[in-house]
Amino acid sequence: MAKGEDLKKIEKKSQEVSKYDFIICPNCGETEVGRFCPSCGQSNKDFNKPIKEIVGDLFDSINLDIRLLKTLLPFFTKPGFLTQEYFNGRRKKYVPPMRMYMFFSILFFFLIQYTGSDKSKNIIKFNETPTKNQASLVSGLHGDTLSMNIKGEYTFNGEDSIQNNSDIILENFSNFDKEKIKQEVLNDSTNSEPLKQMVIGAINASENQKLFVSRFLKNLSYTLFVLMPFFALILAMILWKSRMLYVKHLIFSINFHSFIFGISSIVMILRLIVPEKFSGNEALLMLGIPIYLMVGIKRFYNRKYIGAFFKTFGALMIYSFILSIVVIAMLAFTAKGFYSN
């Protein structure tokens, strides 16, 4: 659709939008467009306009930054408060819950991929020239199980030497005959097809760990987004006496997951900035997650601390169980994506 008569400009300064923006949506043709098209949702902004108008748009975005600053303090220090404000109708001065979730989740997955890429090769580093007594591989395939036992000395993070005599998941198969292991897996008729695909995929993934981690984090980010409604359902079941609508549990769940990503991002940033001072203290900061949930339940659901404690314990136990299964499933699913005969 051409501009001109078809895309009329707003002439009255009293209108809701700038006189330089569209009154007819250039995307779908909808008339009487406000700041956003009511039909397709596209912004009516026309960027072919004077610089002063663009500067005005910039100040609008700065206003969003101010809202973010006003949101962060109560978000981290007053659990449950923003959820209360949301349902009390005081939403304009705070960043919406989903936008906060997107901000912290993107920050979290960026940081975890950035910090992990430099250290992925040093998490478990085996001796490059193991002797016959230092390392031995024993693989047994029985039904749907695959066990690998590595006996030898390895270093964790390149610092602490540990004598490992138990079964461990290998991150580096470089010293072993991968093709031989693949053939053993494929030739054993007792192994199911999904198991073969998962094991061979894991072996192939060990050759490109960075790509594996990238795909796993991508799959995990989608999964955690889907899990938020499940956590809201857990809250609805545990706190059924509150008789709240499901949407209230959902907004509370979104804010709680945003806090998890936020506090985890802070932990990683501190490890990057002051690794020598912060090393070993991550657990203390991460302890804030259950405390945050407990205080949030106490405030938003109007519970006493003792009741909030048991509700928190129950919710986290159920959710941790579900999350463990999901993470294992995502690891298997991601490894399966590397499968090739």
pLDDT digit string, tens, across residues 188-231: 666 676 776 677 777 667 777 777 777 888 888 888 888 999 99
Residue 340 to residue 179: CA distance in whole angstroms: 12
Binned at pLDDT 50, 70 and 90, residue 176 comes out as: low
Are the beta carbons of 262 and 269 closer than 8 angstroms? no
How far is Cα 267 from Cα 281, in angstroms, rounded to an integer? 9
Helix (H/G/I), strand (E/B), else coil: 158: coil
CB count within 10 Å of CB 238 equals 19
Greater confidence (174 vs 325) lies with 325
When comparing pLDDT for 331 and 196, which is higher? 331
**Can you say whether the dihedral through the CA atoms of 225, 226, 227, 231 is positive or negative?**
positive
Looking at residue 113, its pLDDT comes to 76
Instruction: Read off the pTM.
Output: 0.63
- Least-confidence region, from 8-12, 52-56, 252-256, 335-339: 8-12
Strand partners, 137: 150
Q: What is the mean pLDDT of the chain?
A: 72
- pLDDT band, residue 232 (cuts 50/70/90): very high
With CA atoms as reference, report the closest residue to 203 among 181, 228, 230: 181
What pLDDT is attached to residue 74?
A: 92
Measured distance CA(221)–CA(218) in Å, rounded: 5
Contacts 24+ apart (CB under 8 A), 182-186: 184/139, 184/141, 185/141, 185/146, 186/341
Q: Confidence class of residue 271 from pLDDT cuts 50, 70 and 90?
A: confident
Q: 8: which DSSP letter?
A: P
Confidence (pLDDT) at 189:
65
At 127 the pLDDT is 40
Residue 278 structure tokens: 């912060």
Res. 92: pLDDT tops 90: no
Residue found under tokens 């430099």 = 118
Q: Which segment of 45-49, 238-242, 271-275 scores lowest on mean pLDDT?
A: 45-49
Task: Judge contact between 332 and 198, C-beta under 8 A.
Answer: yes
